[in-house]
Amino acid sequence: MRRSAVLSSVLAAALLSVSAASCAHKPAPVVVAPPVAPPAPPAPPPRANPLMTASDLPFQLPPFDKIQDGDFRPAFDAGMAEQLKEVDAIAHNPDAATFDNTIVAMERSGQLLTRVNHAFGNLNSSNTDDELQKIEEEESPKLSAHADAISMNPALFARIDALYQQKAALKLDAESAQLLERYHTNFVRAGAKLSDADKASLQKLNADISSTSTAFEQNVRKAMKDGGVVVDNVADLDGLSEGEISAAAEAAKARGMTGKWVIALENTTIQAVLGELKNRPLREKIYTASITRGNGGPDDTTVLISKLVDLRAQKAALLGYPNFASWALEDETAQKPANVDAMLAQIGTASLTKAKSEAAALQKIIDAEAKASKTPTFPLQPWDWAFYAEKDRKARFSFDEAAVKPYFELEHVLKDGVFYAANQLYGITFVERKDLPVYNPTVRTFEVHDADGSTIGILMLDYFQRDNKQGGAWMENYVDESHLLGTKPVIVNNLNIPPVAAGQPVLLTFDEVTTAFHEFGHALHGLFANTNYPLLSGTATPPDFVEYPSQFNEMWASDPGVLANYAKNYQTGEPMPKVLFDKVIAAQNFGGGYAALEYIEAAKVDMVWHELGVGKAPAAGGVLDFEAAALKAAGMAFAPVPPRYHSPYFNHIFAGGGYEAGYYAYIWSEVLARDTGAWFHQHGGLTRANGDAFRAGVLSRGRTEEPSVLFKAFYGKDPEVQPLLEYRGLAAPKQRR
């Protein structure tokens, strides 16, 4: 019996005895005990939060099948509390500061918070929901305050500064010396030398910047979803492939609009379907939906832009800089705004000249078609460019994207292209792991093996577009490589390929193929990391260097040997015919003026925003006018070629992704990438010897030395812009000895 039932029986017996004693001459009453309740099931043990301890999966892969949204808040709180306790112990260590008890101890601190941050940041970007976004809003300012509490800790900085002042006497190895240098620089740039009053002001600015950036990112995500164009009549989709029409139907079905078609917005200004749709009014409607998102309405971002630009200017002023761009660039390869502006002007001039000649060719096609059909002609507009460029491409090279796509089936591109090139260069191989948990059924996981059979790490591929996934393409770490911590990298590559109906092949545009190679270049940078310290590992480099390996890896997408290996018809397995193959190679610089100019315009817009001083940001309603005036003043305004991103949806620079005053990084890095491409060609191209040299000199090094030093040591001299201009078709090749 249960103890409660025993007590009831004893109590009943006692009552019976009392009654019998007091009523000796009366029959004893019958006392019925109350029914005994059945035993309750045992309470389940409290659920363990899977984020609180390191994962026991291979390479500490997060246990996606166990993580719930509700795990993040307590894990964030515990992670911040734990690190502050660790930092306090370091800062108030009674022993004199040493490299081990201060710098190395800092590198060991915060492992719980890092684990939570990586898991949350990646899931919120690629598989978000309302709860995760709410958590982001709550935690962003807390995390900003947490970072400030560490970087502005006077006792901690005193120890770091003491070590820095005696760095020569410490006789550190090169990587450790670089780590000390980075710590001191990072703390000073974060305000460690400010007065207490200024530190308090900076902490408030950082919290406001964090909250505003988060709000911008969330509004852009909503605007992309709300801004999709609904099509009622399938005839209006004339020009799209069967697979694309099926994808549009699936997108509509997912939004509860069965029987309709939805053209979901991509993150860039120009949408891919504009190159195929014959319906000009629909093209204009899609373009208008793209450029108006975030500019007013319930998902407005313009108020946030004005606020954010001024907050950043205030932060820079407090730290002693004339504007935010000056502060941001001081610690990057470019060093100062004038260097970036000069490079943008040089490449922008060549791009504009080429784009205008391309526009003239497209206008001739428009005029000729109007004359032939006896209809009024019209001036080339942004929503027309891709459509008529495709016609021009077909006329010049006798092929269009529809003819090429059957040769760019995703599985062939991945295994016979992306993985093949990596194997030829570095000897690595990939084994798919279907036994490991994922956060979405479309995500694939691969274990990466080195040439000697040892395991390098894990690569996850999240390639498909979803409504709860941010736009664009990116790479991130779930786990960082570090000899000190004994961790190997877990990397994810994200793309946004439109999903297809079940049973349909996934056929890519050549641009999507190139993007896959690009993001894989980032993955290699993370996978090949071979460093002691987390702060210096993998892609922990400035934005104008971090894009270098990825830009370089793009070249293998169009390398004849690699292209021949993966460009195979998905139905027959036949290789792409040589005549078509030659045309694809010849056409790779087609539209180079447009591609370069749309990017340069966006980079210039970024720089102009962040070269503003305090109080100079325009009001919310003037955001697009400010953009237009900036491009006109720079001599880069050309109506048919809009910026790759307009400010209201320019996530790179306003969503806190680290590219504020840094979007130029892609072209700066591409200079390094094309120089490296020229080096490879001069040394025999796709060979293990070349790949191993690049891996040893760049990919494995992280920031163990300054980026400019790493590049010059590999390339043998300072960067040269000419190979980039030639690669993009913006300059005629020079004769080289």
Report the CATH number at residue 177: 1.20.1050.40
Least confident of 83-92, 300-309, 462-471: 462-471
Q: Across all residues in the chain, what is the average pLDDT?
A: 91
The model's confidence at residue 587, banded by pLDDT at 50, 70 and 90, is confident
Q: Are residues 502 and 569 in the same domain?
A: yes
Alpha carbon 475 to its chain's center:
5
Using CA atoms, how far apart are residues 584 and 172, in angstroms rounded to an integer? 52
The residue out of 292, 326, 346 marking a domain boundary is 292
Residue 314: what residue type? Q
Q: Please state the φ and ψ torsions of residue 229, each to the nearest 5 degrees.
A: -95, 125
Residue with tokens 């892969």: 61
The torsion region of residue 541 among left (phi > 0), alpha (psi -120 to 50) and beta comes to beta
- DSSP category for residue 357: H
The catalytic residue among 107, 332, 519, 601 is 519
Q: Are residues 240 and 161 in the same domain?
A: no
List the domain range (segments joined by +) for residue 288. 227-292
Q: Give how far Cα 70 sits from Cα of 75, 101, 148, 318, 533, Å.
A: 9, 35, 26, 38, 31
Q: SS in 3 state form for 479-528?
A: ECCECCCCECCEEEEEEEECCCCCCCCCECCHHHHHHHHHHHHHHHHHHC
The residue out of 193, 209, 237 marking a domain boundary is 193
Using CA atoms, how far apart are residues 543 and 658, in angstroms rounded to an integer? 7
pLDDT at residue 46, rounded to an integer: 80
Q: Are β-strands 261-263 and 229-231 bridged in parallel, bridged antiparallel, or unpaired?
A: antiparallel
55-109 pLDDT, tens digit each: 999 999 999 999 999 999 999 999 999 999 999 999 999 999 999 999 999 999 9
Residue with tokens 């984020």: 51
Q: Are residues 560 and 675 in the same domain?
A: yes
Span 225-234, average pLDDT: 92
Is residue 316 within 8 Å of 527, Cβ to Cβ? Answer: no
In 3D space, the residue among 535, 528, 456, 526 whose CA is nearest the CA of residue 183 turns out to be: 535
Tell me if residue 369 is catalytic: no
The model's confidence at residue 44, banded by pLDDT at 50, 70 and 90, is low
The residue out of 292, 318, 343 marking a domain boundary is 292
pLDDT at residue 11, rounded to an integer: 29
Could you tell me which residues are beta bridge partners of residue 40? Answer: none
Return the sign of the alpha-carbon dihedral for residues 337, 338, 344, 345. Answer: positive
The model's confidence at residue 7, banded by pLDDT at 50, 70 and 90, is very low
537-562 pLDDT, tens digit each: 999 999 899 999 999 999 999 999 99
Confirm whether 207 is domain-assigned: no
Q: Are residues 5 and 85 in the same domain?
A: no
pLDDT at residue 365, rounded to an integer: 97
Q: Are residues 416 and 497 in the same domain?
A: yes
Within 10 A of 307 (CB to CB), how many other CB atoms are there? 18
Confirm whether 507 is domain-assigned: yes
pLDDT at residue 726, rounded to an integer: 85
Confirm whether 340 is domain-assigned: no
Helix (H, G, I), strand (E, B) or coil at 26: coil
Using CA atoms, how far apart are residues 384 and 189, in angstroms rounded to an integer? 46
Could you tell me which residues are beta bridge partners of residue 445? Answer: 460
Q: Are residues 105 and 14 in the same domain?
A: no
Span 184-193, average pLDDT: 97
pLDDT at residue 118, rounded to an integer: 97
Is residue 306 within 8 Å of 620, Cβ to Cβ? Answer: yes
Q: Are residues 272 and 189 in the same domain?
A: no
- DSSP category for residue 133: H
Confirm whether 20 is domain-assigned: yes
Confirm whether 509 is domain-assigned: yes
Q: Are β-strands 490-497 and 455-464 bridged in parallel, bridged antiparallel, or unpaired?
A: parallel
Using CA atoms, how far apart are residues 604 and 194, in angstroms rounded to an integer? 32
Judge whether residue 5 has pLDDT over 60: no
Is residue 343 within 8 Å of 664, Cβ to Cβ? Answer: yes
Ordered DSSP codes for 651-694: HHHHSSSS-TTTTTHHHHHHHHHHHHHHHHHHTTSS-HHHHHHH
Judge whether residue 735 has pLDDT over 70: no
Judge whether residue 268 has pLDDT over 70: yes
Confirm whether 333 is domain-assigned: no
Confirm whether 199 is domain-assigned: no
> Which is higher by pLDDT, 16 or 191?
191
DSSP alpha helix (H) spans, 191-279: 196-226, 242-254
Number of domains observed in the structure of the chain: 4
Residue 76 token pair: 């964030």
The model's confidence at residue 401, banded by pLDDT at 50, 70 and 90, is confident
Using CA atoms, how far apart are residues 627 and 499, in angstroms rounded to an integer? 34
Q: SS in 3 state form for 390-428?
A: HHHHHHHHCCCHHHHHHHCEHHHHHHHHHHHHHHHHHCC
Judge whether residue 28 has pLDDT over 70: no
193-216 pLDDT, tens digit each: 999 999 999 999 999 999 999 999
Using CA atoms, how far apart are residues 204 and 198, in angstroms rounded to an integer? 10
Q: Are residues 111 and 138 in the same domain?
A: yes
Confirm whether 383 is domain-assigned: no
Q: Are residues 459 and 546 in the same domain?
A: yes
Q: Are residues 546 and 492 in the same domain?
A: yes
CATH number at residue 543: 1.10.1370.40
Most confident of the following: 38-52, 254-268, 519-533: 519-533
The model's confidence at residue 3, banded by pLDDT at 50, 70 and 90, is very low
What separation, in Å, do the N-terminal and C-terminal C-alpha atoms of the chain show?
98
Judge whether residue 682 has pLDDT over 90: yes
Judge whether residue 16 has pLDDT over 50: no
In 3D space, the residue among 189, 185, 190, 182 whose CA is nearest the CA of residue 536 turns out to be: 182
Q: Are residues 553 and 421 in the same domain?
A: yes
Using CA atoms, how far apart are residues 642 and 378, in angstroms rounded to an integer? 18
Q: Are residues 501 and 568 in the same domain?
A: yes
Span 466-489, average pLDDT: 95
pLDDT at residue 227, rounded to an integer: 87
Residues 6+ apart with CB under 8 A from 164: 180, 181, 183, 184
